[in-house]
Protein backbone atom coordinates (compact mmCIF):
# COMPACT_ATOMS: atom_id res chain seq x y z
CA UNK A 1 0.00 0.00 0.00
CA UNK A 2 2.79 2.32 1.01
CA UNK A 3 4.70 1.53 -2.15
CA UNK A 4 1.57 2.12 -4.21
CA UNK A 5 1.11 5.54 -2.62
CA UNK A 6 4.73 6.41 -3.30
CA UNK A 7 4.29 5.37 -6.93
CA UNK A 8 1.19 7.52 -7.26
CA UNK A 9 3.02 10.44 -5.73
CA UNK A 10 5.87 9.99 -8.19
CA UNK A 11 3.34 9.98 -11.03
CA UNK A 12 1.75 13.18 -9.79
CA UNK A 13 5.18 14.78 -9.54
CA UNK A 14 5.96 13.68 -13.10
CA UNK A 15 2.72 15.11 -14.43
CA UNK A 16 3.31 18.36 -12.56
CA UNK A 17 6.81 18.67 -13.99
CA UNK A 18 5.55 17.86 -17.47
CA UNK A 19 2.94 20.59 -17.20
CA UNK A 20 5.57 23.14 -16.15
CA UNK A 21 8.90 22.86 -17.92
CA UNK A 22 9.95 26.31 -16.84
CA UNK A 23 13.38 26.21 -15.32
CA UNK A 24 15.01 28.95 -13.31
CA UNK A 25 18.35 30.23 -14.58
CA UNK A 26 19.75 28.81 -11.35
CA UNK A 27 19.41 25.27 -12.74
CA UNK A 28 21.73 26.06 -15.65
CA UNK A 29 24.56 27.18 -13.38
CA UNK A 30 27.54 25.22 -12.10
CA UNK A 31 27.21 23.52 -8.71
CA UNK A 32 29.57 26.03 -7.09
CA UNK A 33 27.62 29.06 -8.35
CA UNK A 34 24.40 27.43 -7.18
CA UNK A 35 25.94 26.93 -3.75
CA UNK A 36 26.95 30.58 -3.70
CA UNK A 37 23.35 31.64 -4.20
CA UNK A 38 21.91 29.08 -1.80
CA UNK A 39 24.10 29.98 1.15
CA UNK A 40 23.61 33.51 2.48
CA UNK A 41 27.06 33.46 4.08
CA UNK A 42 28.58 33.04 0.60
CA UNK A 43 26.15 35.13 -1.44
CA UNK A 44 27.79 38.50 -2.19
CA UNK A 45 24.30 39.92 -2.87
CA UNK A 46 23.86 39.91 0.91
CA UNK A 47 26.24 42.89 1.06
CA UNK A 48 23.61 44.89 -0.81
CA UNK A 49 20.82 43.45 1.31
CA UNK A 50 22.59 44.61 4.46
CA UNK A 51 23.20 48.03 2.90
CA UNK A 52 19.51 48.16 2.00
CA UNK A 53 18.55 47.31 5.55
CA UNK A 54 20.59 50.24 6.86
CA UNK A 55 18.88 52.52 4.38
CA UNK A 56 15.48 51.16 5.30
CA UNK A 57 16.07 52.45 8.83
CA UNK A 58 17.87 55.67 7.87
CA UNK A 59 15.99 58.95 7.99
CA UNK A 60 15.96 60.77 4.64
CA UNK A 61 14.49 63.93 3.19
CA UNK A 62 12.52 66.83 4.61
CA UNK A 63 9.89 64.54 6.11
CA UNK A 64 12.38 63.31 8.70
CA UNK A 65 11.11 59.81 8.10
CA UNK A 66 12.78 56.53 7.26
CA UNK A 67 11.11 53.71 5.33
CA UNK A 68 10.62 52.01 8.69
CA UNK A 69 8.76 55.03 10.12
CA UNK A 70 5.78 54.15 7.94
CA UNK A 71 6.30 50.54 6.92
CA UNK A 72 7.78 49.20 10.17
CA UNK A 73 9.33 45.76 10.03
CA UNK A 74 10.09 45.01 6.38
CA UNK A 75 9.91 41.29 7.17
CA UNK A 76 6.17 41.74 7.65
CA UNK A 77 5.20 44.78 5.61
CA UNK A 78 7.26 43.94 2.51
CA UNK A 79 6.51 40.22 2.47
CA UNK A 80 5.17 39.40 -1.00
CA UNK A 81 5.54 42.95 -2.32
CA UNK A 82 8.36 42.25 -4.79
CA UNK A 83 6.32 39.38 -6.25
CA UNK A 84 3.70 41.89 -7.42
CA UNK A 85 5.93 44.24 -9.44
CA UNK A 86 5.88 45.77 -12.03
CA UNK A 87 2.44 47.06 -11.16
CA UNK A 88 0.11 49.98 -11.80
CA UNK A 89 0.41 53.01 -9.54
CA UNK A 90 -3.01 54.65 -9.29
CA UNK A 91 -1.75 58.06 -8.17
CA UNK A 92 0.80 58.57 -10.94
CA UNK A 93 -1.21 56.50 -13.48
CA UNK A 94 1.81 54.56 -14.77
CA UNK A 95 3.13 51.04 -14.49
CA UNK A 96 6.21 51.00 -12.28
CA UNK A 97 8.83 48.44 -11.41
CA UNK A 98 9.98 47.92 -7.85
CA UNK A 99 12.89 50.35 -7.94
CA UNK A 100 10.72 53.08 -9.46
CA UNK A 101 8.13 52.43 -6.78
CA UNK A 102 10.79 52.83 -4.08
CA UNK A 103 11.85 56.12 -5.62
CA UNK A 104 8.25 57.30 -5.76
CA UNK A 105 7.94 56.70 -2.04
CA UNK A 106 11.16 58.66 -1.48
CA UNK A 107 9.97 61.63 -3.48
CA UNK A 108 6.38 61.72 -2.34
CA UNK A 109 6.49 60.54 1.26
CA UNK A 110 10.05 61.14 2.43
CA UNK A 111 10.37 64.35 0.39
CA UNK A 112 13.87 63.25 -0.56
CA UNK A 113 15.51 63.34 -4.00
CA UNK A 114 15.05 60.15 -6.02
CA UNK A 115 17.92 57.71 -5.84
CA UNK A 116 19.95 57.19 -8.99
CA UNK A 117 18.59 54.33 -11.07
CA UNK A 118 20.97 51.39 -10.94
CA UNK A 119 22.97 53.12 -8.19
CA UNK A 120 24.26 51.14 -5.24
CA UNK A 121 21.74 52.64 -2.84
CA UNK A 122 18.67 51.87 -4.91
CA UNK A 123 19.92 48.36 -5.71
CA UNK A 124 20.45 47.81 -1.99
CA UNK A 125 16.92 48.88 -1.09
CA UNK A 126 15.48 46.85 -3.95
CA UNK A 127 17.43 43.78 -2.82
CA UNK A 128 16.31 44.30 0.77
CA UNK A 129 12.65 44.56 -0.24
CA UNK A 130 12.96 41.65 -2.67
CA UNK A 131 14.53 39.25 -0.17
CA UNK A 132 11.45 39.58 2.04
CA UNK A 133 9.48 37.74 -0.66
CA UNK A 134 12.00 34.97 -1.09
CA UNK A 135 10.32 31.68 -1.95
CA UNK A 136 6.96 33.28 -2.68
CA UNK A 137 5.40 32.76 -6.11
CA UNK A 138 5.56 35.54 -8.69
CA UNK A 139 2.11 37.10 -8.66
CA UNK A 140 1.63 39.63 -11.48
CA UNK A 141 -1.18 42.16 -10.87
CA UNK A 142 -4.41 41.52 -12.74
CA UNK A 143 -5.53 45.09 -13.30
CA UNK A 144 -6.24 46.20 -16.86
CA UNK A 145 -3.38 48.71 -17.14
CA UNK A 146 -0.66 46.31 -15.97
CA UNK A 147 -2.09 43.62 -18.22
CA UNK A 148 -2.02 45.99 -21.20
CA UNK A 149 1.59 46.89 -20.38
CA UNK A 150 2.48 43.20 -20.16
CA UNK A 151 0.78 42.62 -23.53
CA UNK A 152 2.95 45.33 -25.10
CA UNK A 153 5.96 43.73 -23.41
CA UNK A 154 4.98 40.38 -24.86
CA UNK A 155 4.84 41.85 -28.36
CA UNK A 156 8.33 43.23 -27.79
CA UNK A 157 9.53 39.84 -26.55
CA UNK A 158 8.60 38.30 -29.89
CA UNK A 159 9.77 41.26 -31.98
CA UNK A 160 13.03 40.82 -33.88
CA UNK A 161 15.40 43.67 -33.08
CA UNK A 162 18.91 44.88 -33.79
CA UNK A 163 21.48 44.20 -36.48
CA UNK A 164 21.40 40.53 -35.57
CA UNK A 165 17.64 40.60 -36.11
CA UNK A 166 16.83 38.42 -33.13
CA UNK A 167 13.87 38.43 -30.77
CA UNK A 168 14.10 37.46 -27.10
CA UNK A 169 11.98 34.39 -27.89
CA UNK A 170 14.33 33.07 -30.55
CA UNK A 171 17.03 32.45 -27.97
CA UNK A 172 15.15 32.01 -24.72
CA UNK A 173 12.10 30.05 -25.93
CA UNK A 174 13.52 28.17 -28.90
CA UNK A 175 17.20 27.65 -28.12
CA UNK A 176 17.42 27.45 -24.33
CA UNK A 177 19.77 24.83 -23.00
CA UNK A 178 22.10 25.24 -25.98
CA UNK A 179 25.34 27.17 -25.80
CA UNK A 180 25.97 30.72 -26.89
CA UNK A 181 29.75 30.98 -26.91
CA UNK A 182 30.77 29.68 -23.47
CA UNK A 183 27.44 30.13 -21.72
CA UNK A 184 24.26 28.12 -21.59
CA UNK A 185 21.19 29.99 -22.84
CA UNK A 186 18.67 30.09 -19.99
CA UNK A 187 14.91 30.44 -20.30
CA UNK A 188 14.94 34.11 -19.28
CA UNK A 189 12.97 33.84 -16.07
CA UNK A 190 13.39 36.92 -13.97
CA UNK A 191 12.43 35.84 -10.45
CA UNK A 192 15.94 36.19 -9.00
CA UNK A 193 16.45 39.92 -9.53
CA UNK A 194 18.23 42.00 -8.47
CA UNK A 195 21.15 39.62 -9.04
CA UNK A 196 24.81 39.54 -8.17
CA UNK A 197 26.38 38.70 -11.51
CA UNK A 198 29.92 37.38 -11.38
CA UNK A 199 30.67 38.95 -14.75
CA UNK A 200 29.62 42.35 -13.43
CA UNK A 201 31.45 41.85 -10.14
CA UNK A 202 28.46 43.52 -8.60
CA UNK A 203 24.73 43.82 -8.24
CA UNK A 204 22.45 44.68 -11.13
CA UNK A 205 18.75 45.01 -11.87
CA UNK A 206 16.65 43.18 -14.42
CA UNK A 207 16.79 46.29 -16.60
CA UNK A 208 20.58 46.09 -16.69
CA UNK A 209 20.29 42.47 -17.83
CA UNK A 210 17.70 43.40 -20.50
CA UNK A 211 19.91 46.21 -21.77
CA UNK A 212 22.83 43.73 -21.94
CA UNK A 213 20.85 41.43 -24.19
CA UNK A 214 19.69 44.33 -26.36
CA UNK A 215 23.19 45.62 -26.94
CA UNK A 216 24.21 41.99 -27.54
CA UNK A 217 21.93 41.79 -30.57
CA UNK A 218 23.13 45.29 -31.52
CA UNK A 219 19.79 46.97 -31.02
CA UNK A 220 19.16 50.46 -29.75
CA UNK A 221 19.21 50.26 -25.97
CA UNK A 222 16.55 52.17 -24.01
CA UNK A 223 17.64 54.23 -20.99
CA UNK A 224 17.20 52.89 -17.45
CA UNK A 225 13.60 53.35 -16.37
CA UNK A 226 12.31 53.53 -19.97
CA UNK A 227 8.70 52.52 -20.51
CA UNK A 228 9.67 49.73 -22.93
CA UNK A 229 11.89 48.07 -20.33
CA UNK A 230 9.19 48.24 -17.65
CA UNK A 231 6.69 46.71 -20.08
CA UNK A 232 9.10 43.92 -20.88
CA UNK A 233 9.54 43.36 -17.14
CA UNK A 234 5.75 43.23 -16.76
CA UNK A 235 5.57 40.54 -19.45
CA UNK A 236 8.32 38.53 -17.78
CA UNK A 237 6.28 38.74 -14.58
CA UNK A 238 3.30 37.19 -16.38
CA UNK A 239 5.55 34.59 -17.98
CA UNK A 240 7.08 33.69 -14.59
CA UNK A 241 3.78 33.59 -12.73
CA UNK A 242 3.97 31.07 -9.89
CA UNK A 243 7.74 30.64 -9.96
CA UNK A 244 9.41 31.19 -6.58
CA UNK A 245 11.34 34.42 -5.99
CA UNK A 246 15.06 33.85 -5.45
CA UNK A 247 16.41 37.31 -4.74
CA UNK A 248 19.23 38.05 -4.36
CA UNK A 249 20.22 35.63 -7.10
CA UNK A 250 23.76 34.85 -8.17
CA UNK A 251 24.42 34.40 -11.88
CA UNK A 252 27.65 33.67 -13.78
Q: Is 70 a catalytic residue?
A: no
Q: Are strands 195-197 and 183-184 parallel, antiparallel or unpaired?
A: unpaired
The yes or no reply on residue 215 touching other proteins (CB under 8 A) is no
- Closer residue to other proteins (CB): 41 or 163: 41
Q: Which stretch binds other proteins (CB under 8 A): 3-11, 15-23, 163-171, 197-205?
A: 197-205
User: Would you say 42 or 58 has its CB closer to other proteins?
Assistant: 42
Rounded Cα distance between 101 and 247, Å, is 17
Q: Which of 138, 135, 136 is nearest to 150 (CA)?
A: 138
Q: How far is the CB of 196 from other proteins (least distance, A)?
A: 8
Pick the catalytic residue from 67, 168, 171, 213.
213
Comparing CA positions, the residue from 171, 6, 143 lying closest to residue 87 is 143
Q: CA-CA distance, 229 to 235, in Å (whole number)?
A: 10
Nearest partner of 251 among 208, 181, 199, judged by Cα: 199
Nearest residue (CB) to other proteins, 17 versus 57: 57
Closest residue by Cα to residue 84 from 21, 45, 130, 116: 130
Residues 41-60 interacting with other proteins (rule: CB under 8 A): 41-42, 44, 46-47, 50-51
Residues that are catalytic: 213
Binding site for other proteins (CB under 8 A): 41-42, 44, 46-47, 50-51, 198, 201-202
Amino acid sequence: MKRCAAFLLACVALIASAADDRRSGREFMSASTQAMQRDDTLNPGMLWVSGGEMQWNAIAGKSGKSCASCHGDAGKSMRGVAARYPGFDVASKVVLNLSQRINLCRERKQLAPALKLEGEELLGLEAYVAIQSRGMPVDPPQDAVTKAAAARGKAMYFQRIGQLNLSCAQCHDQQWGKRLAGSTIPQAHAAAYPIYRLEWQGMGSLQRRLRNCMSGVRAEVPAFGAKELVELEAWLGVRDKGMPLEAPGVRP
